[in-house]
């Protein structure tokens, strides 16, 4: 019988039924551990409930759940029925309800799921935020964690599932549309895990510790499927618990002798700044093989800050690595080597910004950029850089990153036109800008977010990082975008930042400090600065500040700045 995701999980449980595989860690209650046999029993319990609610092979099942045990078992329970699981975020205070409802309506109209699986914690919110239309509304199934024996229809439902079939859907994390579903086959997922696992030396002896949301590719693939399909142990916690108590991550690593952990760049700063010494008593991080910086541009300063903060607990720079990944390739495109500090490419800032060339220079130069490598493409993956006419560029020339592998997406679900537009002669166009040097990939930022100010390329995340270091500004709560100046014939940089105080005098001091640090640390001046209260900025469901959505929000407040 063809191997699929769920068949791998069941096979592992039959080989070692009493071996622990999943540890659910909470901030307000004791940790819960499951053996492989117990995990499969709960998966079958979820599958039984889904089947009773009408889920059948090939159906799309949207999963919106908060309870961790219910979430992870509903995912595999859907797979057990031969249906297609897709995890979406539940509504929180940081997700605007109107935007959430609009996105959900777009998704339901396009994807037309058969079921929407939820749980007792969020079912009322789910029902409230569903669009007020009858057409295409799925059955709402409230799943509860219930162990069950083998399903009578199990073999029948799995018999028709092929390895080329869609195993899951990852939906985009944008603010204005969750409708772009990345369809991934069982074959692509296994091929990616084998290749990426080889690049990091993954084995069943590893212990993955993760708080990452499962509706994002980093959390779903690296922080969930890799350990559970690879026979390793997984320690999983809610991202909301981690934000409230980030020390939980370090304590979990210490107690379970964790070896691998994937984090977005902001988490390095967050952990370094928020975790107190008293919460690190007896913590030992020496078991870690690698922290992997992924999902946003990685910064050397964040690595140094993290390494210095946790050096007394067994951490060093050699354990901090970088990965470049995306849902369309299942996960990893490239990965730096484990066991050594990540290479920082030191290049001339002016050449990079004006000529689109990453020209190496010395560390002592005044105007330099330090760009962290994301490593070489993993086995089976190719990468190249294209110019605007889609010609291949030589090394150190900046352009759009294009990739090709044997483990790409099947396509965007029900979006053939989007699938066709995403490829050029077999190469997937990532929408990311970067360059290749000595065979390693360097990522600069999103093509659509790039500003061009006075002929200079400005990557907004660089300005946002500078702004985040100003006293009074919330790190990670800054958005930079462009506003056209028709008179000057160029774009002007604009910035929105969240601050605690409403005092006008303090606001003036913060604005002055922002202008100074940005002028000293870049080649531009910021023309417009708005300081807003906490919670003002729009974020994507994966937690990133949404630049375009915040630009639109400012536009509504100041239409005079945005001539039609």
DSSP-assigned letters across all residues of 1-36: ----HHHHHHHHHHH-TTSEEEEEE-SSS--EEEEH
Query: pLDDT tens-digit profile of 55-98?
Result: 999 999 999 999 999 999 999 999 999 999 999 988 876 666 77
Per the domain annotation, does 441 fall within a domain? yes
The more confidently predicted of residues 465 and 484 is 465
Structure tokens at 87: 């995890």
In the 8-state DSSP scheme, what is residue 273? H
Q: For residues 55 and 160, what is the distance between their CA atoms, to the nearest angstrom?
A: 15
Residue 176 pLDDT level (bands cut at 50, 70, 90): very low
Per the domain annotation, does 282 fall within a domain? no
Of the candidates 323, 100, 355, the one whose C-alpha atom is nearest the C-alpha of residue 217 is 323
Q: Do 413 and 511 fall within a single domain? A: no
What CATH number is given to the structural domain containing 166?
Answer: 3.40.50.980
Residue where a domain terminates, one of 132, 147, 179: 179
Per the domain annotation, does 195 fall within a domain? no
Per the domain annotation, does 138 fall within a domain? yes
Q: Do 475 and 522 fall within a single domain? A: yes
Stretch 376-380: mean pLDDT, rounded? 97
Give the three-class secondary structure for 85.
strand
Residue where a domain terminates, one of 144, 179, 214: 179
Per the domain annotation, does 44 fall within a domain? yes
Q: What's the pLDDT at 108?
A: 80
Residues 518 and 525 sit within 8 Å (Cβ to Cβ): yes
The more confidently predicted of residues 11 and 301 is 11
Q: Do 351 and 476 fall within a single domain? A: no
Q: For residues 125 and 395, what is the distance between their CA atoms, to the nearest angstrom?
A: 51
Per the domain annotation, does 171 fall within a domain? yes
Provide, rounded to the nearest whole percent, the portion of the chain with pLDDT above 70.
94
Per the domain annotation, does 458 fall within a domain? yes
Does 440 have pLDDT greater than 60? yes
Does 284 have pLDDT greater than 60? yes
Q: Do 2 and 140 fall within a single domain? A: yes
Does 352 have pLDDT greater than 70? yes
Does 204 have pLDDT greater than 90? yes
Q: Do 391 and 425 fall within a single domain? A: yes
Q: For residues 145 and 157, what is the distance between their CA atoms, to the nearest angstrom?
A: 21
Q: Do 400 and 536 fall within a single domain? A: no
What CATH number is given to the structural domain containing 512?
Answer: 3.30.300.30
Q: Do 85 and 162 fall within a single domain? A: yes
What CATH number is given to the structural domain containing 365?
Answer: 2.30.38.10
Task: Domain of residue 413: give its range.
Answer: 342-448
Does 308 have pLDDT greater than 90? yes
Q: Do 432 and 500 fall within a single domain? A: no
Q: What's the pLDDT at 269?
A: 87
How many CA atoms are closer than 13 Å to the CA of 283, on its beta-carbon side?
23
Of the candidates 40, 44, 58, the one whose C-alpha atom is nearest the C-alpha of residue 161 is 58
Q: Do 405 and 487 fall within a single domain? A: no
Residues 179 and 111 sit within 8 Å (Cβ to Cβ): yes
Residue 175 pLDDT level (bands cut at 50, 70, 90): very low
Per the domain annotation, does 247 fall within a domain? no
Q: Please give the distance of CA 54 from its chain centroid, rounded to a whole number.
A: 32
Residue where a domain terminates, one of 179, 210, 241: 179
Does 22 have pLDDT greater than 60? yes
User: What is the domain count for the chain?
Assistant: 3
**What is the pTM (predicted TM-score) of this model?**
0.86
Structure tokens at 249: 């991550």
Average predicted confidence (pLDDT) for the chain = 90
Q: Do 499 and 372 fall within a single domain? A: no
In Å, what is the CA distance from 557 to each residue of 50, 527, 530, 540, 552?
46, 17, 11, 21, 9
Q: Do 427 and 349 fall within a single domain? A: yes
Q: Do 456 and 440 fall within a single domain? A: no
Classify each residue of 409-421 as buried b or exposed e, where b means 16 or more C-beta atoms within 10 Å of its C-beta.
bbbbbebeeebee
In this structure, the strands spanning 20-25 and 32-35 are: antiparallel
């Amino acid at each position: 019988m063809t191997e699929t995701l769920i068949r791998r999980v069941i096979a592992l449980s039959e080989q070692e039924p009493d071996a622990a595989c999943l540890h659910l860690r909470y901030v307000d209650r004791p940790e819960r551990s499951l053996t492989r046999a117990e995990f499969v029993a709960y998966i079958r319990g979820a599958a039984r409930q889904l089947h009773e609610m009408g889920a059948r092979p090939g159906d799309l099942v949207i999963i919106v759940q908060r309870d961790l045990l219910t979430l992870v078992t509903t995912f595999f329970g859907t797979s057990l029925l031969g249906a297609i699981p897709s995890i979406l975020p539940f509504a929180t205070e940081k997700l605007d309800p109107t935007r959430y409802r609009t996105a959900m309506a777009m998704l339901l109209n396009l994807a037309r799921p058969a079921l929407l699986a939820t749980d007792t914690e969020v079912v009322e919110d789910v029902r409230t935020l569903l669009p007020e239309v009858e057409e295409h509304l799925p059955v709402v199934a409230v799943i509860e964690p219930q162990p069950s024996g083998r399903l009578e229809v199990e073999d029948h439902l799995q018999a028709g599932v092929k390895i080329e079939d869609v195993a899951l859907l990852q939906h985009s994390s944008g603010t204005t549309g969750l409708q772009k579903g990345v369809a991934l086959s069982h074959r692509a997922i296994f091929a990616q895990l084998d290749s990426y696992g080889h690049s990091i030396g993954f084995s069943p002896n590893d212990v993955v510790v993760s708080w990452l949301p499962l509706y994002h590719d980093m959390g779903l693939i690296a922080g969930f499927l890799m350990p559970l399909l690879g026979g390793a142990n997984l320690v999983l916690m809610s991202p909301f618990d981690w934000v409230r108590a980030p020390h939980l991550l370090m304590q979990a690593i210490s107690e379970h002798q964790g070896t691998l952990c994937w984090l977005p760049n902001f988490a390095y700063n967050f952990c370094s700044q928020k975790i107190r010494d008293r919460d690190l008593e007896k913590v030992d991080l020496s078991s870690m093989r690698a922290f992997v910086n992924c999902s946003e541009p990685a910064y050397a300063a964040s690595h140094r800050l993290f390494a210095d903060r946790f050096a007394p607990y067994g951490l060093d720079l050699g354990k901090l690595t970088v990965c470049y990944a995306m849902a369309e390739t299942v996960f990893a495109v490239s990965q730096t080597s484990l066991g050594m500090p990540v290479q920082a490419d030191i290049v001339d800032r002016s050449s990079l910004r004006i000529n689109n060339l990453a020209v190496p220079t010395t560390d002592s130069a005044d105007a330099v950029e330090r760009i962290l490598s994301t490593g070489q493409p993993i086995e089976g993956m190719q990468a190249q850089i294209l110019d605007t006419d889609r010609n291949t560029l030589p090394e150190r020339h900046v352009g759009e990153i294009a990739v090709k592998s044997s483990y790409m997406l099947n396509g965007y679900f029900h979006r053939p036109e989007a699938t066709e537009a995403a490829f050029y002669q077999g190469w997937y166009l990532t929408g990311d800008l970067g360059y290749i040097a000595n065979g390693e990939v360097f990522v600069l930022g999103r093509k659509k977010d790039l500003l061009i100010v006075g002929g200079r390329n400005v990557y907004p995340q660089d300005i946002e990082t500078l702004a985040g270091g100003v006293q009074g500004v919330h790190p990670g709560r800054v958005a930079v975008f462009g506003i056209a100046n028709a008179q000057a014939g160029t774009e002007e940089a604009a910035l929105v930042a969240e601050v605690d105080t409403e005092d006008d005098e303090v606001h003036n001091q913060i604005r002055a400090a922002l202008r100074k640090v940005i002028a000293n640390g870049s080649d531009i001046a910021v023309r417009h600065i708005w300081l807003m209260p906490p919670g003002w900025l729009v974020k994507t469901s994966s937690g990133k500040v949404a630049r375009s959505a915040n630009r639109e929000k400012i536009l509504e407040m100041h239409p005079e700045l945005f001539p039609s």
